[in-house]
A and B are shown apart, each in its own frame.
Chain A
Amino acid sequence: MHLIVCVKQVPDTTDVRIDPETNTLVREGVPSILNPYDAHACEEAVSLKERYGGEVTAVSMGPLQAVEALRDCIAIGADRAVLVSDRAFAGSDTLATSYAVWSAIRAAEKAWGPAQVILCGKQAIDGDTAQVGPGVARRLDVPQITYALRVVELDADANTITVERRVEKGLEMVVSPLPCLLTCVEEMNEIRYASLPNLIRSLRYEAVIWGVKDLEADPTLCGLKGSPTAVARVFAPPEREPGEMIEGETAAAKVSGLIARLRERLGQSAPVN
């Protein structure tokens, strides 16, 4: 079985400050990390490999330093990693990104066999769009199971996968034919503490690097050219006004205080008792 996991390197948003003067994100000196949801997707791929056998290929698109995120995948237990990196991909929106990732998956299947399960994080913590996974599924023309919480069973003979997914009001059990794409939530699993041999392997690992030509991709669908959307502006929303605490000796006093405040807001005068 071939499992492909799609990952992204993102700035550690817990480390991002907002410049109070310009209201923009200060990214200088902010370390890059493997998108946390993607780490869970990778963990799931590796545990599926351990349950059902097979190989895990991690795929990412980004600048050359994104190999660090792929090294994290190797530490978790991925067998190999591919970085799609080319100037032609610069400035990609989610549409162009899903095209590049799809091209990479196609090339990875050509090299290492057709994939049964493709796993993505539910979204990246920098863009928060949650569009690339579904976009890739659409291009692959395979079913997608978003917000996957648990792989109940993968039946190779029946060629199906049974997955529990999180929906607004509970859980949903979905049976899908293979191949299939999952987008994973963080409750899906706990990322393992890598063994020392795997960690060492990851430090020495040199990812396969593919450009537009290796993927036989259509340059007009890549990067800025293939991106119909653009980010107009990045800004921090205005700070919300702090809430007001209504004090009072008793509950009744607090309630009358609240009513008085509400009337004030509505421009009504207090009732005559």
Chain B
Amino acid sequence: MNEGLADKLYLLKYNIDDESHLVLKNPERCKKCESRECIYRCPAEVYSWEGDHLQIAFENCVECGVCKIVCPDCNIDWRYPRGGFGVFFKYG
């Protein structure tokens, strides 16, 4: 029963768009961020710190909207994916 998150995300059906629907308004500002709330609060591990920058694995996004709200700097230009793209739940 203690499956990892990656296995669970693998169960989801996605139609992945070419471009990310999650964009940082100013990636430089993230370097000064201490809390990095987006990394801890995202339920799908979309955000990770890679060396010197914030990496966004938008293709994992389950479209909850938490990252936008918790970002202390309001630095995420948050939107839903284009119509017909993103995650498609089978149960919901």
Contact = CB atoms under 8 A, between A and B. Distances in A.
B90 A29 contact: yes
**Interface size class, chain A:** under 10
B15 to A, nearest CB: 10
Contacts of B13: 14-15
A29 B88 CA distance: 14
Interface of B is mostly: loop
Contacts of B90: 15, 29
Contacts of B82: 193
Nearest to B83: A193
Q: Which 6 A-B pairs have the closest CB atoms?
A: A15-B13, A14-B13, A29-B90, A193-B82, A15-B90, A193-B84
A193 B82 CA distance: 10
A244 B13 CA distance: 31
B87 to A, nearest CB: 13
Interface in A83-110: none
A29 B89 CA distance: 12
A27 B72 CA distance: 46
A15 B84 CA distance: 17
A193 B90 CA distance: 23
Contacts of A14: 13
A29 B13 CA distance: 14
Interface string A187-208: 0000001000000000000000
Contacts of A15: 13, 90
Interface string B52-92: 00000000000000000000000000000010100000100
Nearest to B85: A193
Interface in A125-178: none
Interface string A1-32: 00000000000001100000000000001000
B80 to A, nearest CB: 15
B22 to A, nearest CB: 20
B25 to A, nearest CB: 26
